[in-house]
Structure 1
Amino acid sequence: MKLHRALELTRGAVVAFVGAGGKTSALVRLGYELADMGWRVLATTTTRIGQDQLPFFPQHLPYDINTDKLSALLNEQRFVFLRAEVRAGKVYGPPLDWFPRLLDSSDSDVLLIEADGARGLPLKAPYGHEPVIPAETSLVVPVASMAVLGQPLDEKHVYNASAIIEHFGFVEGSRVKSPWVAQVLRDEALGLRGVPPKARVTALLNSTPASGYVRGRARLTARLILRQPRVHSVALGSVRASDPVYEVQRNVGAVVLAAGMSKRMGQMKVLMPWADGKPIIEHILEQLLLAHVDHICVVTGNRALDVAACAGKIGAETVFNPDYASSEMLSSLKIGLRAMPAHIAAALVVLGDQPRLQPKIVTQVVTAYAEGLGEIIAPSYLMRRGHPILIDRRYWQEILALPEDGAPRDVINAHADRVAYVNVDNDSVLTDVDTPQDYQRERGKAGLKD
């Protein structure tokens, strides 16, 4: 996918690139993407860049240029870099107090800022005066290059390596590991230093190959970075590739619907035994853990205490639906969505009576979302839509606004152009256990003996 899509840019954004391993390349790539879309793009630096990088920009001018002339150049060139003096092979940026005036007077669609320096190295820790992020910044992009993996942790290979060594206790000269990259980028004293309180944060792991071992290490690094709730998402890719971002990792939660009366079963079905004698609901929650779902919320109702006890064994949150005896599934889904933490970007709708749920299918659904295939992702078997269905947060409000006799499919069908289907190799996404006959059938398919 394109970089602007991965960063979820909207007009009016002020974007600051910090860190190491591709800041300038990312800024330039983003600028040309937006200019090709017809945006009027301003770029600058709060520190300095090499004079040899000026030819990357279609036009570069002194920052105190007349506003009308700047507007005309934006109409003509679409992408303009503003600078202060050029001295000794370095291009310096304007003073910080100039940015509010620029934003008040300029009619550009976006402002891109290189707000850090790293001498071309792949990973950095900031010195005391770094980075220089304007208070008006709305999006901060901490950058690191996956090329740092296996490199010695020393000043030759990592910018300000001594700060990382002192902060974490790593041994100087040790080979850099992917968890170390995550620790640096997500740390508020290092990778997130100086980020304005209201700015959104999307990290960029540059020099990630399209496939292979390092792609997997980058995905692991992203998951570790996302343990910091301050980080909205992590883009994986190579900014010099034709499609620079391969996937965007975000925090995905699960709403597990387990509040029903189970009238057709004659007993609380989610508490019936499954593998190793564990209740169905406990087994389902374990599968979600194996799929590395970030946050699990179980909606309880009938026999709430017993269901909550199962959830407690794996650390899942529970919320109670007081209308469980008279309401439909939609009521529980609304309660579960409202309980999701603010940093969760999308939710899996998981049925508490689908005991053959498989971690690999959950992973397929979440991966399709990360790769940008859709904003609503559903598994499909033989052209039939099943569960769990992943729904991006942008559609939650529409679900919450549905009337009592509505259904989540009303929202899904209304956005058919945003739905992507993942073909799976078995019918576990379609079948549930509503009756004793269903229960026996599903046990047989799962290879469980009575």
Structure 2
Amino acid sequence: MSRVGAVILAAGLSTRMGRFKPLVPLAGKPLFHYAAETALAAGLSPVVLVGGHRMRELAASAAPFGARIEIAENPAYRTGMASSLRTGIAALADRTDAALVFLADQPLVPRAVVDALLREYVRSRGEGVRIVRPAYSGAPGHPVLFDAGLYAAFETLGGDEGGRSILVRHRSALRVVPFGDAAWGLDADTPEGLAELEARLAREEGGPGPG
């Protein structure tokens, strides 16, 4: 089995939310805990939490996970998501064959999604697939799996583009795995988005959990 790690992006300023998103409570726990729990439940290792803004508070909130989560500080977080991606990938590059990139503000992604992406990666890597991405009711989503052969491409990213340019340049190596539940792709980017997530959890017994 390939060594697959996780990068959880939690370094931004959360300007649209008005509060620091990773630490916003949802059903009794900080928002980023959902992604962390899902990554750990799926057996990903290492799990790297990339922080920047309010770094001390983020690290304190991650303390209950102990050594199961590594924290990487991105001092250039104000420049955009690309710097956080570079930081996270660099933190696990020499220890993994692939990495799944999670967003800290998407708490409803279940372990079943991660497991399906891993299966597809293992199954299709021999066919040249190097990126595996979920689609929720047709909409591209996260987490996105990148093979280690693409890690060097992250070094050239800039600004707030995220990994879009890598996806475009390597579209022939991309495999999309479809899922029917659009809610799995919901994020807490705004207060309205958070309210929608809270309503969704209120309708589900026990919340999304890690799997």
Q: Which has the higher contact order (CA 8 A, sep 6+)?
A: 2
Q: Amino acid of the residue matched to residue 389 of structure 1?
A: V
Counterpart of 1:351 in structure 2 is 103
8 A contact 1:349–1:389 mirrored in 2: yes
Counterpart of 1:260 in structure 2 is 12
Cα deviation, residue 441, structure 1: 0.4
Counterpart of 1:361 in structure 2 is 113
Residue 330 in structure 1 maps to residue 87 in structure 2: no
Structure 1, residues 364-395: CA drift from partner, whole Å, max 9, x if none?
11111111252100001232211000000111
Q: Amino acid of the residue matched to residue 106 of structure 2?
A: Q
Cα deviation, residue 413, structure 1: 1.2
Structure index of larger Rg: 1
Distance in 1 (CA, whole Å) between partners of 2:179 and 2:161 is: 28
For normalisation by structure 1, the TM-score amounts to 0.42
Residue 297 in structure 1 maps to residue 48 in structure 2: yes
8 A contact 2:85–2:162 mirrored in 1: no
Distance in 2 (CA, whole Å) between partners of 1:356 and 1:252 is: 21
Alignment equivalent of 2:70, drawn from 296, 317, 320: 317
Counterpart of 2:208 in structure 1 is none
Distance in 2 (CA, whole Å) between partners of 1:272 and 1:297 is: 19
For normalisation by structure 2, the TM-score amounts to 0.88
Percent of pairs with identical residues: 33
8 A contact 1:271–1:281 mirrored in 2: yes
Distance in 2 (CA, whole Å) between partners of 1:385 and 1:280 is: 21
Q: Amino acid of the residue matched to residue 382 of structure 1?
A: S
8 A contact 1:380–1:429 mirrored in 2: no
Distance in 1 (CA, whole Å) between partners of 2:97 and 2:53 is: 29
Distance in 1 (CA, whole Å) between partners of 2:60 and 2:160 is: 31
Distance in 2 (CA, whole Å) between partners of 1:429 and 1:394 is: 28
Residue 278 in structure 1 maps to residue 29 in structure 2: yes
8 A contact 1:319–1:335 mirrored in 2: yes
Structure 1, residues 259-297: CA drift from partner, whole Å, max 9, x if none?
11111211111111123x111112221111111112100
Runs of 4+ aligned residues of structure 1 deviating over 6 Å after TM superposition are none
Equivalent residues, number: 199
Distance in 2 (CA, whole Å) between partners of 1:413 and 1:341 is: 22
Distance in 2 (CA, whole Å) between partners of 1:436 and 1:313 is: 27
Alignment equivalent of 2:141, drawn from 379, 386, 390: 386
The structure with the greater share of residues assigned to helix is 2
8 A contact 2:50–2:73 mirrored in 1: yes
Secondary structure of 1:363's aligned partner: helix
Query: What RMSD over aligned residues (CA atoms) do the two structures have, in Å?
Result: 1.7
Alignment equivalent of 1:443, drawn from 191, 198, 204: 198
Flag the 1:390–1:441 CA change in 2: closer, same or farther, 3 A. same
Cα deviation, residue 317, structure 1: 0.3
Cα deviation, residue 406, structure 1: 4.6
Q: Amino acid of the residue matched to residue 303 of structure 1?
A: R
Secondary structure of 2:87's aligned partner: helix
